[in-house]
Amino acid sequence: MSTDIQSILNKLGINASNAAYSTGSNWGVELNANTLESFSPVDGKLIASAKVASAADYDAVVHKAQEAFTAWRTVPAPKRGEIVRQFGDALRENKDALGTLVSYEMGKSLQEGFGEVQEMIDICDFAVGLSRQLYGLTMHSERPSHRMYEQWHPLGIVGIISAFNFPVAVWSWNTALALVCGNVCIWKPSEKTPLTAIACQHIIAKVFKDNDIAEGVCNLVLGDREVGELMTNDGRIPLISATGSTRMGKAVGAAVGARLGKSLLELGGNNAIIISEHADLDMSLIGAVFGAVGTAGQRCTSTRRLIIHESVYDAFTAKLVKAYGQLRIGDPLDQNNHVGPLIDTDAVAAYLDSIAKCKEEGGNFVVEGGVLSGDAYISGCYVKPCIAEVQNDFKIVQHETFAPILYLIKYKTLDEAIALQNAVPQGLSSAIMTLNLREAEQFLSAKGSDCGIANVNIGTSGAEIGGAFGGEKETGGGRESGSDAWRAYMRRQTNTINYSNTLPLAQGIKFDL
């Protein structure tokens, strides 16, 4: 490998063996029994290891966070924004190193690794402006000489549980917003990508230290499901923001709901692009192929289904098959390659299992899948993106497989295409490729796509941070990132102030003493 990973690890403060938690500049020193080992899916090598936080470690972090909150909530929001501005600058300085580590630890292409860090920088810029725009409404009171308004206050500790596929960007969407809103954060990253999380923690901790802000505003806790369960059941954490599978989200939602906490869930997608008879097929090809094979099909926004009009079905399928024949699969750090590895061999097993199930149900593979072998694929995590002709109601098509498997479905009328697009349990992202205004507007209307994201002449993945990001149905209903998603990180308080000499009751009620 030409990239010098060791110097990148050194630059980002990652040792061969790392502590289980951090409250900022302080890293837990307790040597716990359990260790997380991070192997690169790129070449199968052990990159470094980290300890797993114990329940006691976790508790120490929560105490630190509670203490930090008492001070952080009193810092004026624009001043908190200034800290986030500096964090964005620190990310700019570290973009190459962090983007490369994302690519090496997670396996996405280097371009996408850099794109992920850019997404972090973008949300910082957004949050800086937001820090001066945490607006509440004012209302007219029904009583004379009374004033009513609402204001937004921070919640306290925001627990962030993130997934391996966007190991750093999703954390920063949550963190940048949570911080300007006056919250403190505890982050449990995926156990599959602890090192990129450690790198981020070093970067943000330095910003806090340089500004003489006490420990505990941004905290990291490494661990597996048990640590996640400590967080979801913990009444000291008013908001849990969790990204991952629908199965995981149902468990998180139930645990947080049982204690009447708030949860913000970003779960599975089963995203489709409708390729209309009025589509620009060349543009559609780029959207479809990037959507299906980008991040090796491991985005929650990845394109899983193409719903293609019968009149262009054969022509578009031929284009797809040709394009798949040109895909270069291999080391994601080599920018000549389009597709890197899956995250691990469990993901490879799930990919193979889905292909087998699809065949059992009658799927017809027009591009065959398979696992690649040989020296260039030594990790055993490289698979061939594949394409199958299916029916939308196949069980496997209803299920989200985190792998580059693309399903083709034929349609006759737009109503039918929209019904097919909506006929899955998930509701994250959707798109239509058409140059016909009536079709586009119907797709976006109340009788169109039922997803949180609906695009025209753009694929399903690659949303910008400025919009609210999230989806309906089994995607969990949460909205993160832009627009007014910040409200989820705050509590609303309605204030009524009486500046008269009497105390009139609302609704005209008489109560004289």
Q: Note the residues at the interface with ligand UN1 (CB under 6 A).
A: 119, 165-166, 170, 243, 299-301, 461-463
Provide the angle, in degrees to the nearest 10, between the axes of the packed helices 169-180 and 194-210.
30
Signed CA dihedral, 92, 93, 99, 101: sign only:
negative
Min dist. Cβ of residue 354 to ligand UN1 (A): 18
Cβ-contact 184, 218 below 8 angstroms: yes
Residue nearer to ligand UN1 on the CB measure, 119 or 344:
119
Mapped onto helix, strand or coil, the DSSP state of residue 456 is strand
Min dist. Cβ of residue 475 to ligand UN1 (A): 10
- Residue 284 carries which side chain, given as an amino acid letter? S
Min dist. Cβ of residue 346 to ligand UN1 (A): 18
Residues 6+ apart with CB under 8 A from 463: 301, 429, 453, 469, 481
Ramachandran angles phi, psi of 468, nearest 5°: -75, 135
Task: Specify the residue for token string 């809103």.
Answer: 181
* Strands in 85-208 per DSSP E: 138-140, 146-154, 157-161, 184-188
Min dist. Cβ of residue 463 to ligand UN1 (A): 3
Annotated catalytic residue: which of 105, 116, 119, 266? 266
Residue nearer to ligand UN1 on the CB measure, 272 or 463:
463
Residue nearer to ligand UN1 on the CB measure, 123 or 414:
123
- Residue 431 carries which side chain, given as an amino acid letter? A
Degrees (nearest 5) of the Cα angle 124, 128, 132? 155
Q: Enter the tokens of residue 102.
A: 């994302």
Gap between the Cα atoms of 204 and 216, Å rounded: 12
Min dist. Cβ of residue 300 to ligand UN1 (A): 4
Residue nearest to ligand UN1 (CB): 463
For the chain, what is the radius of gyration of the CA atoms? 24
Task: Specify the residue for token string 């299992």.
Answer: 353
Min dist. Cβ of residue 447 to ligand UN1 (A): 25
Min dist. Cβ of residue 116 to ligand UN1 (A): 8
Polymer length of the chain: 513
Signed CA dihedral, 137, 483, 399, 350: sign only:
negative
Residue nearer to ligand UN1 on the CB measure, 193 or 301:
301
Largest CA-CA distance found in the chain, in angstroms, rounded? 90
Residue nearer to ligand UN1 on the CB measure, 9 or 300:
300
Residue nearer to ligand UN1 on the CB measure, 370 or 466:
466
In terms of Cα–Cα distance, which of 176, 173, 188, 178 is closest to 157?
178
Cβ-contact 344, 383 below 8 angstroms: no
Residue nearer to ligand UN1 on the CB measure, 54 or 243:
243
Min dist. Cβ of residue 165 to ligand UN1 (A): 5
Residue nearer to ligand UN1 on the CB measure, 182 or 476:
476
* 266 is a catalytic site residue: yes
Gap between the Cα atoms of 159 and 239, Å rounded: 6
Buried b (16+ CB within 10 A) or exposed e, 138-171: eeebebeeeeeeeebebbbbbbbbbbbbbbbbbb
Residues 6+ apart with CB under 8 A from 474: 246, 249, 267, 268, 425, 426, 427
Active site members = 266
